[in-house]
Amino acid sequence: MENADKWFAIVNPVAGSGRGLADWPQISKLLRDNHIVPEYAFTERKYHAIELAVEAVNNGFRKLIVVGGDGTIHEAVNGLFIQKAVPTQDVLLSVIAVGTGNDWIRMFGIPRKYSEAIRAIVEGHSFLQDVGMISYYQSSYRQTRYMANVAGVGFDAAVNRRYNHLKEEGKRGKWLYLWSTLKAIMRYNSTGVKVYVDDQLVVNDLVYSATIGIGKYNGGGMLQTPDAVADDGLFDLTVIRRMNPLQVLYNFKVLFNGRIYRLHSTSLNRGRKIHIESSPEIAIEVDGEALGYSPFEFEVIDRAVRVVVSEKFMREEAARLQAVSAAGTETSLQTGNTPTVRS
């Protein structure tokens, strides 16, 4: 297959308030300087990255570079599941981040500096990460989407929708997400929610927020699933029960410092399947993308996508696996996710 060893870049020109377009000449030169000369295409509309990923794989490409943010990564991963030419694990996905939140790259230690992100691609350390399959309702129809990082239900989704609405109005700026968060804190009300993990009822209460993680980070650096492991075959589920605006503001820092489980209103569960229902219905965001409404179904797909990660991440992962193995627990090191290098 003549394109199998070639790279294809999916470039989102509007990512990062236009940095995707403005910085592509610089990124392209850095790639060429490192002997990577990809074919590429710019996204032209929402969900176009899905189409481009499908077309690239169908045309024989097995190495993709996403030049964009979390939303572009989300679309590319969904494209990998739509195409049927090869198993999803046969495509190597790499990221040069030009987005705003850039939460996916935090998980895998990919630097934001372009030259260092490209160095990670050249070094070729790869990792098979889990993916979440999610069903939800939109306009009374059941829809399915795939999750590369984190999904948020309730408050998280309210913040995301306000943020996206402001962006659609043409507003930009470093503090836009924080402003959206503060506005949502003052206006969002907890909702009656039932949560089932692996068919067991774990929550039946007024819920402020539920976060479901393959990865650790969301919302531009928040740590709402700080202990998530991207290849353990489990979702981390963080549920925050009813809180008032003053309580949220007082405890706001724990959303970022990894100490969220110190809140008495917060619980952690892990499982392969999650079902969430509510009255009234509540919204969901997935990888920063506003989708539909409850009820929701989540299911883990084990080690479904091969991604380029940093050398630092692989060192940390090896240390984690060694510690888990020493504790006598089955690890992903024993089941195939050893440090790998691809040219």
Tell me the residue range of the domain where 182 lies.
Answer: 132-301
Look at residue 267 and tell me if it is in a domain: yes
Please state the pTM of the whole predicted model: 0.91
Choose the final residue of a domain: 93, 123, 153.
123
At 329, the pLDDT band (50, 70, 90 cuts) reads low
Where is pLDDT greater, at 154 or 337?
154
164 and 248 fall within a common domain: yes
111 and 244 fall within a common domain: no
Q: At which residue do the structure tokens 């409404």 appear?
A: 293
At 2, the pLDDT band (50, 70, 90 cuts) reads low
Give the pLDDT confidence score for residue 165 in this predicted structure: 81
CATH of the domain at 278: 2.60.200.40
The tally of domains found in the chain comes to: 2
CATH of the domain at 18: 3.40.50.10330
At 174, the pLDDT band (50, 70, 90 cuts) reads low
75 and 115 fall within a common domain: yes
Task: Please state whether beta strands 283-286 and 289-308 pair in parallel, antiparallel, or not at all (unpaired).
Answer: antiparallel
Give the residue from 69, 36, 76, 21 showing the smallest Cα distance to 53.
76
170 and 71 fall within a common domain: no
For residue 295, is the peptide bond before it cis, meaning its omega torsion is within 30 degrees of 0?
yes
141 and 265 fall within a common domain: yes
Give the pLDDT confidence score for residue 162 in this predicted structure: 87
Give the residue from 3, 5, 4, 15 showing the smallest Cα distance to 76.
15
The tokens for 223 are: 């740590």
Task: Give mean pLDDT, residues 18-36.
Answer: 97
108 and 221 fall within a common domain: no
Residues with Cβ within 8 Å of 16's Cβ and at least 6 positions away in sequence, in order, are 69, 98, 99, 100
At 99, the pLDDT band (50, 70, 90 cuts) reads confident
* Inter-axis angle of helices 155-168 and 176-187, nearest 10: 130
3-state secondary structure the chain: CCCCCCEEEEECCCHHHHHHHHCHHHHHHHHHHCCCCCEEEECCCCCHHHHHHHHHHHCCCCEEEEEECHHHHHHHHHHHHHCCCCCHHHCEEEEEECCCCCHHHHHHCCCCCHHHHHHHHHHCEEEEEEEEEEEEEECCEEEEEEECCEEEEEHHHHHHHHHHHHHHCCCCCCCHHHHHHHHHHHHCCCEEEEEEECCEEEEEEEEEEEEEECCCCECCCECCCCCCCCCCCCEEEEEEECCCHHHHHHCHHHHCCCCHHHCCCEEEEEECEEEEEEECCCEEEECCEEEEEEEEEEEEEEEEEEEECCHHHHHHHHHHHHHHHHCCCCCHHHHCCCCEECC
109 and 185 fall within a common domain: no
164 and 258 fall within a common domain: yes
118 and 33 fall within a common domain: yes
First to last CA, the chain: 16
C-beta separation of 68 from 11 below 8 A: yes
At 1, the pLDDT band (50, 70, 90 cuts) reads low
Choose the final residue of a domain: 301, 320, 338.
301
What is the C-alpha separation between 325 and 253, in angstroms, rounded?
Answer: 33
Identify residue 68 by its one-letter amino acid code: G
Look at residue 160 and tell me if it is in a domain: yes
Give the pLDDT confidence score for residue 261 in this predicted structure: 96
Choose the final residue of a domain: 123, 147, 173.
123
Look at residue 154 and tell me if it is in a domain: yes
